[in-house]
Amino acid sequence: MNSKREKQWRRIEKLEREKKEAALNRSLQSEECICFPKEEQPFFGFDIEWETAKRVECPLHGCSCSRGARPIYTAKWRRKMEERRRETFSPQFQKAWAARFPSALWPAEEEETEGGIYLRLKDGTRILARESPSFAAGQLTVLP
């Protein structure tokens, strides 16, 4: 008798989970939703891109893209490859990316200087993406 009741509860819980997932999937297709799809999380070449994307929350769900990979170091060839790879993702991914990186400003052009790598946005704004390591100038900085 007890096991029959447990099976019924498990079945009810399963149906409730499926109902919630279906509702979430429907809301992801809403015009207001700017969430990244679960199976298509963003990849960022620079920490500043991750920080920028993290600040934008979905008006419908309130979530940001904190699940995306925060970069430690990404080689230039990998950053270029990622730009092309992003174009193959779903319309929902494209909408989420555009909400964080509007086409009027992005993609940015990389500028390498002695001081580091800068991103020049389409409006001319320069953002420091990565400082050059101090040992490149013959100095080594020891962090506490």
* Number of domains composing the chain: 1
In a domain? residue 74: yes
Residue 27's pLDDT band, with cuts at 50, 70 and 90, is: low
- Distance of alpha carbon 30 from alpha carbon 130, whole angstroms: 36
Reported as a single tens digit per residue, the pLDDT across 97-133 is 999 999 999 999 999 998 899 999 999 999 999 988 7
Cα torsion at 5, 9, 12, 18 (round to 10°)? -140
Whether the per-residue pLDDT at 140 is higher than 60: the answer is no
Range(s) of the domain holding residue 94 = 34-103
In a domain? residue 18: no
58, 64 contact by CB (below 8 A): yes
Beta-carbon contacts of residue 109 (< 8 Å; ≥ 6 apart): 119, 120
